[in-house]
Amino acid sequence: MLKYALMKKFEPTLEHALYAVALLFAIGLRFLHLGALPLSDFEADWALQALRITQGLKPAIGPNPAYVHLTAILFFVFGTTNFLARFWPALAGSLLVLAPWFLRGRFGRLPMLILAFGLAIDPGLVAMSHLAGGPMLAIAFLVMTALMWMHDRRPAAGLFAGLALLSGPSVWLGLLGIGLAWVFGSGIGKKIPAQSEQDAPDAVADSSPARLNLKEMRLPLFWGIGSLIVAGSLFFISPKGLPAFVASFGAFLRGWWILSGVQVWQLLLALPAYEILPLGFGIAGVVRGILKRETYSLRLGIWALSALILALVYPAKQTGDLVWALLPLWVLAAVELGRHFDFQSRNRWEVAATMVVVIAFLVFGWLNLASITNMDWSSDLVRTRLWLLAAVVLLVVLSLLLVGTGWSISVARLGGVWAFLITLTLFTIAMSTGAAGLRQPLTIELWQPEPRTGRVDILLKVANQISDLNRGYADQLPLTILSVDSPALRWLFRDWQVHAVSELAPDATPELIITTSQDLSLAAKYRGEPLVLHEVAAWDKAAPADWLKWFIYRQMPLARDNVILWVRSDLMLDSQDTTSPAP
């Protein structure tokens, strides 16, 4: 009997298979070519801290000890690579897709399955999963804390809460948004009359915020403090991570008077440029909640609005801070989309015909908009194309009105919703491939902290060739970095013997020098080659045509910072002297 019970304990269903498909989508978008792009200065700074721990040093740990210590374990076991530097954020972003499984009893099976696929393909979450040292660990650990708490798994909730507090300043921004939503949304259930079960979505449970019981808090506090001590000190190997936990809160507070340089318009632009699917259907869910007085919709809407406002007003803002608003938006969108699967009593051929017509108009409108990017904006043809675009929008509205009056409103609703859903899903997946760095040529995305790292892989390749030519092996020559403060550069040459200096004596003759100076004025002769170290999108110089081209193709003029790799002339194969960088 026991053997039979164990065999019957798990029976795979279609729902399990669909969650597995969503997980595979998430893993593919997050792990494919994960280590292909070089680390930026932001990422390399965190990766270098983990590297120093594996070297037996006692480095100062930044306010994200969870990432540094977890990555140090990977570096110690497997070695240092770009892939491993981004491994934990990618894994956390992938496993986040399974979080809706724990909410099926609260929001329903179908909406949560939709949510799983939404989280898998979301461009913002994909981009943050590719960012070493970014907020993805904080998001995943905080979500798991809430889920474990709701399912009365207090020790696990305490464990994940401790890890969340070790995951950088971003967790405090998320907690503040949740706290504000709790304050402003806690009284909604008392003010709004109880809704009938017919109006509420399937399996949605409305529960007021639970009161904390001090006795119940003992066990999660024990596990939380334990995880803080063990993970924060890496089993007491890196005790400097413990004060870094407190420093993360200090870094969050300092962010209120230190400007990051990211403009408000960048965050506002990211919503329609990447997140039009959860934004559109999420707003529809909030509107439905207001009209039907659905408590859960209003609370989720308040959470999304609070997180969005915080991301906009926070002086040290980054575009990635929007992910705290995307979580409630996706829940709202998933529940709203779950209402539009009522095909049983509809004529499916009529719905399909409506979908085809609307999708055809939307695709035509997009192609028409894309054609403008190659035209002169002062020409009459551009104005004609813009009028044509407006006509397409009008035709979509008229088509749905005609279907609603000729066939039925339900057919128009289903056909329109599914047409937009299919089109926007394809758009979202396309944006995710760009955010994941899977497109060639590489696109200009809003999610990554600037400056972006240029083709420094060429810099390393040339230096390795020179070393192999003279020593028989790569990374054997000593390298001098002169007046260039770049964590990305230090990470790139992490296997080299590197000397970072601010100036060189006139009689110094180092073999390889990386600097921005075009005149070394040293005793020996050198040959130089300029290469791109940093790239920054020239947003302030963009014309209207550039903005449209970015929206369609994610292309934008770039401002580049170059460094010069100087090689002592006697190390070159032909020993040819030259004192100026190659053109």
**Residue ranges per structural domain of the chain:** 13-203+211-258, 348-420, 452-571
For residue range 551-568, what is the model confidence (pLDDT) as tens digits?
999 999 999 999 999 999
pLDDT recorded at residue 205 = 46
Looking at residue 521, its pLDDT comes to 84
Query: Are the C-beta atoms of 403 and 358 separated by less than 8 Å?
Result: no
pLDDT tier, 139 (very low <50, low <70, confident <90, very high otherwise): very high
pLDDT of residue 212: 56
pLDDT at 171 over 60: yes
Answer yes or no: is pLDDT of 574 > 90: no
pLDDT tens for residues 189-242?
Answer: 555 544 433 344 444 444 444 455 666 788 889 999 999 999 999 988 998 888
pLDDT at position 51: 96
Q: What is the pLDDT of residues 388-404, one digit of tens each?
A: 999 999 999 999 999 99
Tell me how far CA of residue 274 lies from CA of 279, 304, 342, 454, 479, in angstroms. 9, 16, 28, 24, 42
pLDDT at 523: 86
Residue with tokens 């705290």: 324
Averaged over 407-420, what is the pLDDT? 92
- Residue 190, pLDDT score: 54
Residue 145's beta-bridge partner residues?
Answer: none
SS3 content of the chain, % helix, strand, coil (to 5): 60, 5, 30
Would you state the pLDDT for residue 189?
59
- Provide, rounded to the nearest whole percent, the portion of the chain with pLDDT above 90: 67
Residues 436 and 25: beta-carbon distance below 8 Å = no
Please list the residues that pair with 530 across neighbouring strands: 564
Among candidate residues 220, 222, 244, the one with its CA nearest the CA of residue 62:
244
pLDDT digits (tens, 9 = 90+) for 531-556: 999 999 998 888 888 899 999 999 99
Residue 550's pLDDT is 93
CB 335 within 8 A of CB 285: yes
Query: Cα angle at 154 between 148 and 156, to 5 degrees?
Result: 60
- The model's pLDDT over 26-77, given as tens digits with 9 standing for 90+, comes to 999 999 999 989 999 999 999 999 999 999 888 889 999 999 999 999 999 9
What is the pLDDT, as a whole number, of residue 214?
Answer: 64
Backbone angles phi, psi at 60, to 5 degrees: -70, 130
Q: Where are the beta strands (DSSP E) in 463-582?
A: 478-482, 497-501, 512-515, 526-537, 558-568
